[in-house]
């Protein structure tokens, strides 16, 4: 049995306002080529199918086309909701989809009802655990006082293990969306901490052959049988340069036989550029970034005029800008720096701050003085 472990598709996500639907569809549709080339039996999506609880019509259309391609390539699909999804919406038409080979596992009541696949060695049970919000799931799981992710996931896995007990010799795989101890987070995950308790120990998932984890966007292995596939695309500049992948999981008659990574293409790279505006616009070393999503960190002493428009003349996909140049603080508090200062001095200091230490000229100070005087006179007349 061969499985393709993916997660955190986040269909509909943007990058600093830039739409990523085209890039997402390109990468996710490419999974169908992996399915055909590697003879994959099932594609697993361990949560965060969409980026929001109410996805756009365009996002749902992308998912429809991707699932159609995966089924056309011959793979069964099993997917579960993550903390970004609405489980109830994702579960719409689940029965009808199951007939076509797309299995949605989005309810607590059905978490111990596996998708059963068979090969020459017998059955493989694929259990999909939806993201379990502790305060909601604990009631459905019969937990009165437990309010942690560990408690609800442990109760869910107890149900899975109880079902497996009735299926002797059946190999097992669990899809789960959680922050498991030992995992490394990225900048682009939404916190799932509830009451300060979000980390789940790996021991919660004992007793199954493979655990396909979702939530953390960095691909990583916590053990041979416990892995995060990561997101198919980088969703923050903190992930710039990070390789993206899926896991190809093989099961034989004895259980887990091997796991290997499948590199995923990057339709548009993410790049962080640092320097003055003129350096970024002129330096030929930045030619490779002209087609990338760019985060620019400007170091000019004086804040440049209209920098984003000018950057986009060379880097049309520049989506983020910050200025780290300018004057420095002397360590005093704002109140301390204002004490005993007149309005004109404060206004002059503001001009120096936004200009990176270049203060107002004499004519500018005269203009500031007249403006402040006019404002004071208008206030007195009220």
Residues 212 and 163 in one domain: yes
Which residues on adjacent β-strands are paired with residue 295?
272, 320
Tell me, what's the pLDDT at 295?
Answer: 97
Residues 277 and 224 in one domain: no
Tell me, what's the pLDDT at 71?
Answer: 97
Residues 158 and 245 in one domain: yes
Which of the listed residues 247, 263, 279 is the one where a domain comes to its end?
Answer: 263
Tell me, what's the pLDDT at 378?
Answer: 76
Q: Name which of 138, 139, 163 is nearest 152 in CA terms.
A: 138
Question: How does the average pLDDT of the chain come out, rounded?
Answer: 91
- pLDDT tens-digit profile of 87-98? 999 999 999 999
Distance, in Å, from the CA atom of 13 to the CA atom of 30, rounded to the nearest integer, reads: 18
Judged against a pLDDT cut of 60, whether residue 161 lies above it is answered with yes
Residues 255 and 275 in one domain: no
Judged against a pLDDT cut of 70, whether residue 337 lies above it is answered with no
Tell me, what's the pLDDT at 40?
Answer: 98
Spatial neighbors of 158 by CB under 8 A, at least 6 apart, are none
Judged against a pLDDT cut of 70, whether residue 164 lies above it is answered with yes
CA–CA distances in Å: residue 336 to residues 95, 268, 331, 353: 67, 48, 10, 16
- pLDDT tens-digit profile of 166-220? 999 999 999 999 999 887 777 677 665 544 347 899 999 999 999 999 999 999 9
Tell me, what's the pLDDT at 278?
Answer: 96
pTM for the model stands at: 0.84
Rg over alpha carbons for the chain, rounded to the nearest Å, is 27
Q: Is residue 281 part of a domain?
A: yes
State the residue for tokens 């069964």.
76
Residues 67 and 146 in one domain: yes
Which of the listed residues 229, 247, 263 is the one where a domain comes to its end?
Answer: 263
Judged against a pLDDT cut of 50, whether residue 11 lies above it is answered with yes
The answer to whether 208 and 164 have CB atoms below 8 angstroms apart is yes
Residues 312 and 276 in one domain: yes
User: 357: alpha, beta or left, given left = phi > 0 and alpha = psi -120 to 50?
Assistant: left
How many domains does one find in the chain?
3
Q: Is residue 329 part of a domain?
A: no
Q: Is residue 330 part of a domain?
A: no
What are the DSSP calls for 80-119, one per residue?
Answer: E--TTS-HHHHTTTHHHHHHTTEEE---STTTT-PEEEEE
The answer to whether 198 and 149 have CB atoms below 8 angstroms apart is yes
Residues 149 and 290 in one domain: no
Residues 120 and 253 in one domain: yes
Domain limits for position 93: 2-263
Tell me, what's the pLDDT at 364?
Answer: 86
Judged against a pLDDT cut of 80, whether residue 353 lies above it is answered with no
Residues 128 and 209 in one domain: yes
Residues 107 and 220 in one domain: yes
- pLDDT tens-digit profile of 273-330? 999 999 999 999 999 999 999 999 999 988 899 999 999 999 999 999 998 875 544 5
Residues 7 and 73 in one domain: yes
């Amino acid at each position: 049995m061969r499985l393709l472990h993916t997660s955190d598709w986040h269909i509909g996500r943007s990058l600093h306002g830039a739409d990523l639907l085209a890039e997402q569809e390109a990468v996710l549709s490419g999974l169908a080529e992996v399915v055909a080339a590697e003879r994959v039996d099932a594609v697993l999506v361990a949560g965060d199918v969409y980026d929001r609880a109410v996805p756009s019509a365009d996002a749902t259309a992308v998912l429809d086309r991707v699932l159609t391609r995966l089924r056309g390539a011959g793979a069964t699909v099993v997917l579960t909701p993550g903390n970004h999804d609405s489980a109830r919406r994702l579960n719409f038409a689940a029965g009808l989809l199951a007939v076509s080979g797309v299995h949605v596992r989005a309810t607590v009541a059905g978490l111990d009802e596996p998708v059963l696949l068979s090969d020459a060695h017998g059955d493989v049970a694929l259990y999909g655990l939806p993201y379990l919000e502790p305060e909601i799931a604990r009631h459905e799981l019969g937990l009165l006082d437990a309010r942690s992710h560990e408690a609800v996931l442990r109760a869910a896995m107890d149900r899975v293990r109880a079902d497996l007990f009735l299926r002797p010799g059946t190999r097992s795989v669990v899809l789960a969306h959680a922050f498991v101890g030992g995992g490394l987070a990225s900048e682009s995950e939404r916190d799932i901490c509830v009451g300060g308790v979000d980390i789940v120990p790996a021991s919660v998932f004992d007793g199954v052959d493979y655990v396909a984890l979702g939530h953390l966007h960095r691909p990583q292995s916590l053990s041979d049988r416990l892995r995060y596939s990561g997101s198919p695309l980088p969703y923050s500049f903190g992930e710039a340069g990070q390789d993206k992948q899926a896991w190809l999981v093989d099961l034989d008659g004895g259980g887990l036989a091997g796991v290997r990574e499948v590199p995923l293409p990057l339709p548009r790279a993410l790049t962080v550029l640092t320097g003055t505006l003129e350096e970024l616009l002129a330096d030929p070393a930045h030619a490779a970034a002209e087609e990338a999503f760019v985060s620019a960190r400007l170091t000019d002493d004086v804040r440049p005029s209209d920098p984003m428009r000018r950057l986009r003349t060379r880097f049309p996909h520049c989506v983020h800008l910050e200025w780290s140049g300018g004057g420095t603080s002397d360590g005093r508090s704002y109140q301390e720096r204002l004490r005993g200062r007149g309005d004109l001095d404060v206004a002059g200091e503001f001009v120096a701050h936004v200009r990176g230490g270049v203060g107002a000229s004499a004519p500018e100070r005269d203009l500031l003085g007249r403006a402040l005087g006019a404002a004071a006179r208008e206030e007195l007349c009220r």
